[in-house]
Structure 1
């Protein structure tokens, strides 16, 4: 079984119900299956064969779902790419990933025209039509150097066969290559097999009890692995309905949840912060939600408690990474949830905390989190040394510092590379951030280590406040009540907003670069 065959099974069971709702238009499971078959058959007619690499440079639209499952059904390997990446970033992934076809929005066609001379392997650029109201001034495509490569997504659907069967897929075949953010260098392509993705989607759906009665808000970016598994694949495997949101806004989410009586919302902590801070919101706005899911970054306990208290809906925080398809842990729904914890092992996945020698450490001691299970990637594309360093003795080394309590719940302490050493003492940024998030005037906070001539490193803090009169002295005094002296920030800088990536994750690296440039 794989994502493609399971979807066909779901169609037989729930064919008439909506699979997708996008901007008021419903697409049934039958209609979705037909579009997927047509697109898959047209890809095959273009010469895309089993194992060829196809890139999706798309935002959250039905195009994405059809393209993803159509390419998988044709036997291709899908490479999702963030459409707001720079031209150089996109070109690097397309070349490093040996991409033969790109599926993108017509608005991005000029970008590929500029990149054409550096994309020797790309033979087809499939253009998805945006509504006339969203289009910029038209481009005469017949004058473009990529004209012979351009294909219309709509036309391919018209020409495709609804009876397409597709090649036989092995569970060890690579289904998706996800390029990591590359915070430590050039992005690496994590090869996820059909078994990796299918097992994680099914195990996540079952763990969170996602079923055919659920209506899931899909506002996380579809090119990101958190959305791919939790808010796209897992719901489709069990017959749920996706409410596809092209761009997140607090007001838009509240309106959508009320209009469609959504039952599940998945987001990163920044999204929950925006929802909590929205002035006109009340408990009535999210009353149909049975579950909120958080991942992508650690959620401050103060934010979690504040959101749950205001909206009376539980947040289940989990943990994952691209190399694990991504989910390894979630707070369980049938046992007590522990604020600040990423929960316990999901079924079929094992987590443990180890020291530098790979030996499991005692309860409540900090070490590196490592993972084993059917969800762990095959390796990095064309990077055998990186693969051997990351997967050792069958265990995926996450690079995250964690601890496990006596009940089997895991807690992320911080990224291994973000650990701050102040005069030989360990300072975990998250510990300082948690203290500051408890201050009533603090909206967002990020803590990092900066060079210090006396202690090696010092604690630097960036804060977004809703009180313009709040001072550095106020917060330093507040920190002294809860933190040891060496953990107290050496300086606090106030910003209008913190830099974030497309998923809403705060970018500590961008802040550190800003500090080093001064």
Structure 2
């Protein structure tokens, strides 16, 4: 198992190479390792050791990465927490993870009443008093990443170093990453996409990582021009913002050899519009936290099938299963299941949920998909999002794809609402491109043209924007709640 992403396992020849930077700090590989040693020594003095958990509640910045690596140096676990969480949300994750130590942005930031350390007080170099030898092994728990909790309270996904090393190695092979690559990290670092695809994969090959504190479309493109990254990973919402910029915004994006799109479905129109405008290919992939981020992707240097999320990544098996546990042939619809060294150890303190998700040796994703003859996966929907109207299954993604075919549609989401006659009926929420217009009638006509009658939404609601969860996915639970209360989300 290659753990070269750990600073103390880096080859000596990388010592002076550029490693990581943000808006305030730029470090070589040796300087980053020194910072990690300083923080690890400080953590050890505060009682952190093998098996303990440190909670890191920081916005995107280099120190967040230092804290992760410092915990790992001690054989400890890190649980990153969304820095915009309320005190109640922070307290829930800290208590559920039983965090021994909290690293936070300011003295008055919430910490669940536990021992805490303000980020500006992190020790930049070790004092040589209490720094133990590195105690990291492949079966140490590395991360507790909490799911968005769309079906209840968030669950802690347990990922050990074997999981994250397998994920990083898989991405390196699939994306053909080398020491010449430079990743621009813009996604939040409390999520596995940013940690594994941007941070760990880059460290594994000895490349450069530039960390942005937040996403703003014009500033992001300015960073691309200034820093000259070779790739970045983003979600559909980010690409929506980029293609919505005025036509006069024409940045130099020639350094980017590809960009990744994941975490939520993207329409074919959005992918094509982004590629045409900015000139780099977009590699759409698919995965979930329980699989340490990604399980499929369209090839960087092979056939890309827009409308699919690509083929299984190296080291993984992706299949489609019927409700009886039988694997289905190409062309048939069923639940997407995954095997590989990237599959989580389970949910923290949730044995029943772990057994339900992993019990037969496969990771059950809860997504409905179809594999074609070439192994490319097309996602149909979430099992729990299926709308059953009068006994007929309706897949919201099919309706959303039709809505996205209208050139004015920027975002679309379809959810079910209770109906006294049919049980459930579909309702569509739509956000329009800021420079284009469409009426409810226009959108209904598109649906009527391409969908059978039972799939046509009973209502189409046009809003300025659709609500998002912390990782940028359209928040369907919020939309369902708005239908129940009659309030606009």
Hey, what does 1:429 align to over in structure 2? Answer: 396
Match of 1:239 in 2: 206
Cα displacement (A) at 1:429: 1.2
Give CA-to-partner distance per residue, 1:239-280, whole Å, 9 cap, x none: 111111001011011101111111102100100111111114
Tell me the CA shift for residue 423 of structure 1: 2.0
Moved more, 434-443 or 222-231: 434-443
CA distance 1:469–1:220, shift in 2 (3 Å): closer
Aligned length: 485
How many Å separate the matches in 1 of 2:24 and 2:43? Answer: 29
What is residue 226 of structure 2 aligned with on the other side?
Answer: 259
Shift of 1:3: 4.0
- The match for 1:438 among 398, 405, 410 is 405
Task: Name the residue aligned to 1:384.
Answer: 351
Alpha-carbon offset, residue 288 of structure 1: 1.4
TM-score after normalising by structure 2: 0.95
| CA distance in structure 2 between the partners assigned to 1:403 and 1:366 by the alignment | 5
Give the structure 1 partner of residue 315 of structure 2: 348
8 Å Cα contact 1:39-1:67 kept in structure 2: yes
Match of 1:510 in 2: 478
Q: Give the Cα separation in 1 of the matches to 2:453 and 2:148.
A: 34
> Could you give the per-residue CA deviations for residues 299-356 of structure 1, whole angstroms, max 9, x where no partner exists?
1111011111222211111111111112111111232001011111111111100011
Q: State whether structure 2 residue 285 is matched by structure 1 residue 294.
A: no
Q: What pairs with 1:436-515 in structure 2 (closer than 5 Å)?
A: 436-465=403-432, 466=434, 470-515=438-483
- In 2, Cα distance between equivalents of 1:32 and 1:111: 26
More helix by share: 1
Q: Distance in 2 between matches of 1:431 and 1:162?
A: 61
- Which of 243, 248, 254 aligns to 2:215? It is 248
Work out the CA distance in 2 between the residues paired with 1:337 and 1:266: 17
- 1:8 shift after superposition: 3.1
Q: How does 1:319-398 map to 2 (within 5 A)?
A: 319-398=286-365
Segments of 5+ residues of structure 2 without an aligned counterpart are none
CA–CA distance in 1 between the matches of 2:240 and 2:217? 9
Mapped to 1, the partners of 2:128 and 2:455 lie a distance apart of 63
CA RMSD of aligned residues (A): 1.8
Contact 2:321 2:327 in 1 (8 A): yes
Structure 2 residue corresponding to 1:112, chosen from 110, 113, 118 = 110
Measure the CA separation in 2 of the matches of 1:282 and 1:407. 39
Which residue number in structure 1 is paired with residue 91 of structure 2? 91
Equivalent pair of 1:2/1:171 in contact (CA under 8 Å): no
C-alpha contact (below 8 Å) 2:5/2:204 kept by paired residues: no
CA distance in 2: counterparts of 1:160 and 1:20, whole angstroms: 23
Q: Please say if residues 177 and 190 of structure 1, whose CA atoms lie closer than 8 Å, have aligned partners that are also in contact.
A: yes
The structure-2 alpha-carbon separation of the partners of 1:442 and 1:235, relative to structure 1 and needing over 3 Å to count, comes to same
SS at match of 2:252: helix
- The answer as to whether partners of 2:25 and 2:62 remain within 8 angstroms in 1 is no
Aligned position for 1:197: 164
Q: For residues 160 and 133 of structure 2, what CA distance do their matches in structure 1 show?
A: 17
Does structure 1 residue 19 correspond to structure 2 residue 14? no
Equivalent pair of 2:4/2:203 in contact (CA under 8 Å): no
Unaligned runs of 5+ in 1: 117-121, 130-151
Separation in structure 1 between the aligned mates of residue 91 and residue 452 of structure 2, nearest angstrom: 47
C-alpha distance in 2, partners of 1:68/1:4?
Answer: 15
Question: Shift of the alpha carbon at 1:11?
Answer: 4.9
Secondary structure of the structure 1 residue equivalent to 2:64: helix
